[in-house]
């Protein structure tokens, strides 16, 4: 039932006059009559008796007065509540975060965000970047912070936060450890410990070798960078990891004929309306870019 029609009804009921209601609402008398007629048609009931120039409420009209006022008050209260919360940052925010970002990038972001927005309850799922990307694409997840896909879907909005240079690394005891630098052809002759080919990082690496028509000798593959780093650190093969993960157990080998790089950031579906909490989280992320 249209709220403007209800307002017309209440005005006519108060004045028992269509002309006075029209003057009060700054409408024509025919417009007021039309609105009352629409309510009566909707209910299938007469609300006013019109005898000569006299207007009086029917029994149904009398009963509708408190109900109509209650409906309008509830609508106004709802509007006020929504307007008051339209700029407030509160509620639950569900995030999908890649394992690597969760370990190495997320803690300072979360610290700043939770201090700035204490009324937001975070629900964080740590998962593979590829799974998070698919979930965002299907509309199941509002926001994900992941390794960005090499090829972006036009329906997905992408925000770059952390450029993440990759490097070739070997253990101190590896055969290649004494080299000043290496090339892709040399690496292809030795066993590698790399991200699975189904991961975005694995796709970047495999594409690079495929472009040079070089085969990879993969001794072990996994989705987890921490596992890759540990296995390379005990000498099971060369690897490619983010430069930020280098430590005393691994030596960086400069790559003469290629540059390795990936990007980390956030994604959301372009057709999804983001909550205030999600927009606030993006604002926090961008301060770390």
The pLDDT assigned to 44 comes to 93
Q: Is residue 256 within 8 Å of residue 168, measured between CB atoms?
A: no
- Enclosing domain of residue 132: 95-161+269-286
Which CATH number fits the domain that encloses residue 168? 3.40.190.290
Q: Is 124 inside any structural domain?
A: yes
- Going by pLDDT thresholds of 50, 70 and 90, the confidence category of residue 84 is low
144, 175: one domain = no
31, 79: one domain = yes
The pLDDT assigned to 196 comes to 92
- The candidate with the shortest Cα–Cα distance to 130, out of 206, 223, 29, 192, is 223
Residue 119 has pLDDT above 80, yes or no: yes
140, 101: one domain = yes
Residue 42 has pLDDT above 70, yes or no: yes
Q: What is the pTM of this model?
A: 0.73
224, 145: one domain = no
Region 51-63: mean pLDDT is 91
Number of independent structural domains in the chain: 3
Q: Is 13 inside any structural domain?
A: yes
Scan for tokens 């995030």, then name that residue.
95
The pLDDT assigned to 91 comes to 85
Helix axis angle, 106-116 to 276-286, nearest 10°? 130
Q: Is 90 inside any structural domain?
A: no
Residue that finishes a domain, picked among 51, 85, 119:
85
Which CATH number fits the domain that encloses residue 281? 3.40.190.10
Q: Is 69 inside any structural domain?
A: yes
70, 8: one domain = yes
The pLDDT assigned to 73 comes to 86
99, 145: one domain = yes
Q: Is 178 inside any structural domain?
A: yes
Average model confidence (pLDDT) across the chain: 92
Residue that finishes a domain, picked among 23, 51, 85:
85
The pLDDT assigned to 253 comes to 95
Burial call 22-46: b when 16+ CB within 10 Å, e when fewer: bebbebeeeebbebbebbbeeeeee
The pLDDT assigned to 75 comes to 87
Question: Could you tell me what percent of the chain has a pLDDT over 70?
Answer: 97
167, 253: one domain = yes
Residue 202 has pLDDT above 60, yes or no: yes
| pLDDT tens-digit map of 158-183 | 999 999 999 999 999 999 999 999 99
Which CATH number fits the domain that encloses residue 28? 1.10.10.10
Residue 87 has pLDDT above 90, yes or no: no
- Going by pLDDT thresholds of 50, 70 and 90, the confidence category of residue 79 is confident
278, 157: one domain = yes
| pLDDT tens-digit map of 124-148 | 999 999 999 999 999 889 999 999 9
The pLDDT assigned to 86 comes to 61
Q: Is residue 72 within 8 Å of residue 6, measured between CB atoms?
A: yes
Q: Is 170 inside any structural domain?
A: yes
- Going by pLDDT thresholds of 50, 70 and 90, the confidence category of residue 88 is confident
Q: Is 12 inside any structural domain?
A: yes
187, 229: one domain = yes
Q: Is 104 inside any structural domain?
A: yes
24, 53: one domain = yes
59, 202: one domain = no
167, 255: one domain = yes
| pLDDT tens-digit map of 224-262 | 899 999 999 999 999 999 999 999 999 999 999 999 999
Residue 117 has pLDDT above 70, yes or no: yes
């Amino acid at each position: 039932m249209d709220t403007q029609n209800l307002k017309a009804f209440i005005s006519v009921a108060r004045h028992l006059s269509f002309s006075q209601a029209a003057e009060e609402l700054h409408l024509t008398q025919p417009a007021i009559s039309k609105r009352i007629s629409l309510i009566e048609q909707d209910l299938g009931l007469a609300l006013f008796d019109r005898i000569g120039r006299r207007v009086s409420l029917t029994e149904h009209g009398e009963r509708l007065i408190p109900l109509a006022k209650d409906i309008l008050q509830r609508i106004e209260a709802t509007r006020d509540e929504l307007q008051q919360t339209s700029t407030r940052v509160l509620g639950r925010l569900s995030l999908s975060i890649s394992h690597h970002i969760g370990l190495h990038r997320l803690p300072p972001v979360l610290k700043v965000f939770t201090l700035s927005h204490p009324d937001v309850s975070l629900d964080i799922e740590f998962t593979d970047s590829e799974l998070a990307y698919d979930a965002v694409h299907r509309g199941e997840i509002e926001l994900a912070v992941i390794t960005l896909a090499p090829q972006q879907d036009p329906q997905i909005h992408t925000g770059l936060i952390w450029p993440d240079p990759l490097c070739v690394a070997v253990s101190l005891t590896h055969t290649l450890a004494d080299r000043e630098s290496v090339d892709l052809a040399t690496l292809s002759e030795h066993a590698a410990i790399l991200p699975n080919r189904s991961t975005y990082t694995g796709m970047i690496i495999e594409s690079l070798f495929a472009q040079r028509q070089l085969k990879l000798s993969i001794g072990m593959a996994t989705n987890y960078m921490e596992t890759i780093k540990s296995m390379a650190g005990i000498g099971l093969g060369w690897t490619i990891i983010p430069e930020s993960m280098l430590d005393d157990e691994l030596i960086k080998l400069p790559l003469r004929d290629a540059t390795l790089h990936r990007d980390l950031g956030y994604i959301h579906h372009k057709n999804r309306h983001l909550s205030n909490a999600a927009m606030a989280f993006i604002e926090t992320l961008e301060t770390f870019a």
